[in-house]
Amino acid sequence: MSKEGKSMTEVIQISAAEAVSRIRKTYPVIPDAAVILGSGVNVLEGLQNSIVLSYTDLFGHAPSVAGHSGTLTIGRLGSGASDPLVAVFRGRFHLYEGYSWDMVSLGARTVVEWGVPNLFVTNAAGGLNLDFNVGDLMVLTGYRDHLSPKWKSEGLLPAVMAPATVCANKQTEKLLTVGAKLAGEDSRFRALKQGVYAGLLGPSYETMAEIDMLRKLNCDAVGMSTVPELLVCQSSKTACCAVSVITNVWKPDEVMGGHEEVLEASKAASRRLDLLFRRILVEK
Ligand code: HPA
C-alpha cells in the first residue's frame, strides 16, 4: 500500500514520452549524461544554472522509501555553457514496494526516450565477496537478473541456470580507468572494487541459503534494484553503467545494520562517488 493507502497497482501510469515532454517544457537541451541515485547515495549537488522537477510533477508519483528525495535536477558541472550538462534523478521505485515493472523502469525509459547518451546508475548493495569492506564502491562488470516479473510464472530456475550478463561498454571501462587514476592520486580515494551484482526482489535481506547460492554463482554483491535500468538500456542507444555502494558485508560474525546504517555507509561513500562522477564527466 502507498502512503495514500492506495494499492501500488493503482498508481497512474505516465509514459516515458509524456515524462520527456514534461521535461522539455522546462528544459529544452538534452543532457550529456543522466544519473539515477539509490538509497541515501547523494552526489552532484550544486549543479549550475539548474532546475528541479519533483517526481510527482514528472511521473505523477513520488517514491516512499527513506533516503530517496524524488526529484530530477538538471544543471551544468560548471558555469560555462560548454560544461557538461547532467540530469540527476534522486530516488527510484522498487518492485518490493509493489510497483509494476513499468513503474520501476520508468526512470531509465525516460532517459532513453530523451536521447541521453550515457546513464550512470547507483545502488546500495550487500557485499558477498569477502575482500569487500563496508563503504567500498563496486563497478558492475556483470549482473544476474533474479527479479524480473517473468520468473514469477517460470520459477527462478532459468534465472539461476543463466550466465551473468556482462556489462561491457565504454562508460564501464571509463569508470574503472578513472577510478584507478583517482586511487593513484589521492590516498583517501579507496581503490574501486568490481564484480557481478545479483538483483533480487526483496524486500527482506537474503537468507544464508540464498547468500551461499549467490556466492556459488560467483556474485560479488546483492541488491534489489538496478537490473531494470540495465535491461532497459541494453537494447537502446544509451550506454548504461552502474556502481554499488557496499553498505554491509555478508560475513558469519558481522552484525547487520538496518536502514539507518545503510544510509550512514552510503553517505561516506557518496563523497568518493561524487569525485569519480565529476572526473568522468569532464574527461573526454
Ligand atoms: N541485500 C539486499 N539489498 C541490500 C543489501 C543486502 O545485503 N544491503 C543493501 N541493500
Q: What are phi and psi of 45, to 5 degrees?
A: -75, 160
Q: Whose CA is nearest to atom 5 of ligand 1?
A: 126
Domain that holds residue 93: 3-282
Name the nearest CA neighbour of 193 among 101, 127, 143. Answer: 127
This prediction has a pTM of 0.92
Q: Whose CA is nearest to atom 9 of ligand 1?
A: 125
Outline where DSSP puts E strands in the chain: 33-37, 48-54, 71-76, 85-90, 118-127, 137-146, 165-166, 193-200, 221-223, 239-249
Residue 177, domain CATH: 3.40.50.1580
> Residue-wise pLDDT tens for the chain (284 aa)?
444 444 555 676 789 999 999 999 999 999 999 999 987 788 999 999 999 999 999 999 888 766 567 999 999 999 999 999 999 999 999 999 899 999 999 999 999 999 999 999 999 999 999 999 889 999 999 999 999 988 988 888 999 999 999 998 999 999 999 999 999 998 888 899 999 999 999 899 999 999 999 999 999 999 999 999 999 999 899 999 999 999 889 987 766 666 676 677 777 899 999 999 999 999 87
Structural domain count of the chain? 1
Helix (H) or strand (E) holding 151: helix 150-154
| C-alpha span between 11 and 150 (Å, rounded) | 21
pLDDT in tens, 144-170: 999 998 898 888 899 999 999 999 899
Q: Is residue 129 among the annotated active site residues?
A: no
| C-alpha span between 107 and 90 (Å, rounded) | 10
pLDDT in tens, 228-271: 999 999 989 999 999 999 988 998 776 666 667 667 777 789 99
| Three-class SS state of 242 | strand
Q: Is residue 68 among the annotated active site residues?
A: yes
- Cβ of residue 147 lying under 6 Å from some atom of ligand 1: no
| Cell numbers at 26, concatenated | 522546462
- Distant-in-sequence, close-in-space partners of 132: CB < 8 Å, separation ≥ 6: 138, 193, 220, 221, 246, 249
User: What is the CA(117)–ligand 1 centre distance, in A?
Assistant: 29
